[in-house]
Structure 1
Amino acid sequence: MMLAATAATAAPDAGAPDAAVGAPAEATVRVVLKFVKHRAGAGVRFDAASCPACRLVTEANWNADNDRETVVAVTVPRMRSLELGFAGSVATIWRVILEGGDLPFRREGARIVVALPPVPADAITAGEVATHIVEPGMVLRFEHADPARQAGDYAGGRFPAVERAAADVLEFAQREAVRELGLGEHVARAGLGTIQIMGFDTNAPHDHRDSPPHIHMHLRWPGNTGTQIGHYYIGPDGLLTHNVVGVKGLDAPQRRFERGQAFTTIGADGQGVYTHRITAEGWLDLGRSDGPLCHIRPAGAGGFASGAIVACPGQAPRRISVDDDLAHGVLTVDTDAIRETFRYDPDTGRLTSPSDVPRPGPSVFTGDG
């Protein structure tokens, strides 16, 4: 919905300067709000009269409405304290989310009024539902694939349940290899950036179509320019098919690596850091660029959706399985006999399990001074 500018009706004071002459255009930012429903039903819509300077974003997949939530994208004046109105089925709404946190709102009859803080830059990630697990030199981004939210290239048709289950396992299998090889500590110590392990979204947040199904493990360079992003594609059998690599911020063509071809990620110092190779069977080898590789193979007949076996040099093989309880917000990862439990907010994916050890008392010697 686009608003027409309102013309002034009163004649300007002849002695007053023309405020429009030379006035800079108002800077704007893009904001995505998520309205979470406590029951399925119709959604809400932006009330343009509540903010004449705001504009609804009309591009594909920036707005959404499903049984879980309504997602609304609006362009608003930058760094202004605003109250935005929304009409529709307001009785079904119990949370309003910006980025990864809640915003205050109040009900005014048939409307909801949301208090928006001064926003300095685009804030567009509220449509995402992913949990971030942070470790030394590494971040694992686990996307929660909810059929109720499917959109974009995944709207309608067969939901990629096998591919998503395979991605779940492969993300944590790569994490296990990174741990056993000491890659996270290595890139952190050398100042090479952060390893990013990711899967794929199925709900097209902010038009991130993220298809066909794939996983990532890339080294985000400081400043991001130069980051080589591999896309390890997953077939409907739960096995890897090929890898397509692009480079951020540089005029470099994409490269495709077939099964059996190795791809080495390069650090900002020009040296190889680690190597991936999809095997002839559709399995995955991963290791330091100057050393032997860990072998990651399916644990059963269903491809990686059945689990994975991670075998690194000098280590006993480890079996990885993953279960994601979307309804209760519980992600369970089994590594042999070790069961890890990650609890998260089902509406945002935000990790609610503790992730840091509380500091000891001030009199306790910690070896840092």
Structure 2
Amino acid sequence: MRRGSIAAIAALCWSAALPAAEPAPGQVTVVLKFVKRSSAAAATLRFDPASCRVCTPVTTPLYNADNPRETVIALAVPRRRTLELRFTGPRDAIRRVLLENGDLAFRQDRDAIVVDLPPLTQNVITAAEVATHIVEPGMVLRFEHADPARRAGAYATGRFPETERLAANALEFAQREVIRELALGEEAERRDLGRIQVMGFDTNAPHNHVDTPPHIHMHLRWPRNAGTQIGHFYLGPDGLLTHNLAGVSGVPDTERRFNRGDTFTSVGPDGKGLYFHRITSEGWLEIGRPAGRSCLIRPVGDGGFQAGAIVQCAGAPARRLTVKDDIAKGMLTVATDDLVETFRYDPDNGEMSSPTMPPPATPSNYVSNEVADLPPS
């Protein structure tokens, strides 16, 4: 693989990237999540077509689901219409109805549930996702909660990828640590390059997002997504990285394979490299600036990343990271050396419940306009 070929394609596709597909005229797709009162509830629901004669079930694979946690139903509904949709099923079996990551009003009506659907102008399909988003300057970390009770798609049967998911947990937060240390998010924001997206992989295949084999991401999402180079850093069953498959979003036939030892550089809309990734011969991960400092992420101990990660950046002390996700409690705990962060979230959808910013200062307080000192690059 020639170094820089993905970068060259990305630089050319600012205006050439394919536009997102438009919904069918007059209709949009909606996915609703019906959260069960208990895992033992036999809350199989069915859409009552008499409540909306122009609404039709969507049969796209993995857009619908039924598991111990929830029933997920996809429908094609008329665009920009206020609807009351009826679903037949066991009385009092449902405690919430979710659209995206928010609640919809619903009520019991004899042997059915009636849901108030707001007018929709576009497809709304992500209700089955269960992920927590941590937003910082120039970046967002999307932490997926791997729940065996929701397993679907490629992970529906066989060995559940627990080792790979634990490794992804540690690597996601290790990448966040590198982004902070090298001030990559602040630079992306300052130069209007887009936003850095740190992600892992789903195990419940929401809206047919099969997300296999297990992997992690750290891509720079360009404005309007045009030109975004998306790398998939794959994890083996030993919790180590194997290779990276990267391509340009919306541009077919651009995927390239980067093996251990190969360098993959992410470039911005200005054609300049912002950072690079290199999987080492051991299956570890190096991230750095093309002409500056770099950081090595290696496992805690002699095995894979499932036990945690050590981040060693040039000119800075090594930091040890461990991650624990308690899905039942909705509590994500991240330990960086002796510093422990606790992120509380809604187990039904992953929505963060911990505070994300302080309350505003009183009007008479002085507010500094100075830019905070950034670490050297």
Provide TM-score, normalisation by structure 2: 0.90
Question: What residue number does 1:4 align with?
Answer: none
Question: What residue number does 2:373 align with?
Answer: none
Between stretches 166-175 and 26-35, larger displacement belongs to 26-35
Cα distance in 1 for partners of 2:301, 2:90 equals: 47
Question: What residue number does 1:206 align with?
Answer: 207
Give the Å deviation of 1:270.
0.5
Cα distance in 2 for partners of 1:160, 1:102 equals: 30
Give the Å deviation of 1:301.
3.1
Cα distance in 1 for partners of 2:278, 2:90 equals: 51
Judged with a 3 Å threshold, the aligned counterparts in structure 2 of structure 1 residues 149 and 251 are, in CA distance, closer, same or farther, namely closer
Q: Deviations over 1:293-327 (max 9, x none)?
A: 20000002330001000000111000000000000
Gaps of 5+ in 1: 1-24
Cα distance in 2 for partners of 1:231, 1:101 equals: 29
Between stretches 234-243 and 42-51, larger displacement belongs to 42-51
- The number of residues matched between the two structures is 345
Judged with a 3 Å threshold, the aligned counterparts in structure 2 of structure 1 residues 365 and 292 are, in CA distance, closer, same or farther, namely closer
Cα distance in 2 for partners of 1:118, 1:365 equals: 43
Question: What residue number does 1:41 align with?
Answer: 41
8 Å Cα contact 2:182/2:293 also seen in 1: no
Q: Deviations over 1:208-242 (max 9, x none)?
A: 00000000000000111100000000000000000
8 Å Cα contact 2:28/2:77 also seen in 1: yes
The one-letter code matched in structure 1 to 2:29 is R
Secondary structure of 1:184's counterpart equals helix
Give the Å deviation of 1:260.
0.7
8 Å Cα contact 1:105/1:115 also seen in 2: yes
The one-letter code matched in structure 1 to 2:303 is G
Give the Å deviation of 1:41.
2.5
- Does residue 290 in structure 1 map to residue 291 in structure 2? yes
Give the fraction of aligned pairs with identical amino acids, expressed as a percent.
62
Q: Kindly report which structure 2 residues correspond to 1:304-343, keeping only aligned pairs within 5 A, or say none.
A: 304-343=305-344
Q: Kindly report which structure 2 residues correspond to 1:155-234, keeping only aligned pairs within 5 A, or say none.
A: 155-234=156-235
The one-letter code matched in structure 1 to 2:350 is G
Give the superposed CA RMSD: 1.2
8 Å Cα contact 2:216/2:232 also seen in 1: yes
Question: What residue number does 1:243 align with?
Answer: 244
Cα distance in 2 for partners of 1:234, 1:284 equals: 11
8 Å Cα contact 1:26/1:77 also seen in 2: no
Provide TM-score, normalisation by structure 1: 0.92
8 Å Cα contact 1:63/1:73 also seen in 2: yes
Judged with a 3 Å threshold, the aligned counterparts in structure 2 of structure 1 residues 26 and 167 are, in CA distance, closer, same or farther, namely closer
Q: Kindly report which structure 2 residues correspond to 1:1-369, keeping only aligned pairs within 5 A, or say none.
A: 27-39=26-38, 40-42=40-42, 43-368=44-369
8 Å Cα contact 1:169/1:322 also seen in 2: yes
8 Å Cα contact 2:200/2:216 also seen in 1: yes
Gaps of 5+ in 2: 1-23, 371-377
The one-letter code matched in structure 2 to 1:141 is R
8 Å Cα contact 2:219/2:231 also seen in 1: yes
Cα distance in 2 for partners of 1:144, 1:249 equals: 27
Cα distance in 2 for partners of 1:207, 1:272 equals: 33
8 Å Cα contact 1:62/1:72 also seen in 2: yes
8 Å Cα contact 1:193/1:222 also seen in 2: yes
Give the structure with higher Rg (CA): 1
8 Å Cα contact 1:107/1:113 also seen in 2: yes
Cα distance in 2 for partners of 1:304, 1:153 equals: 22
Q: Deviations over 1:137-162 (max 9, x none)?
A: 00000000000000001111100000
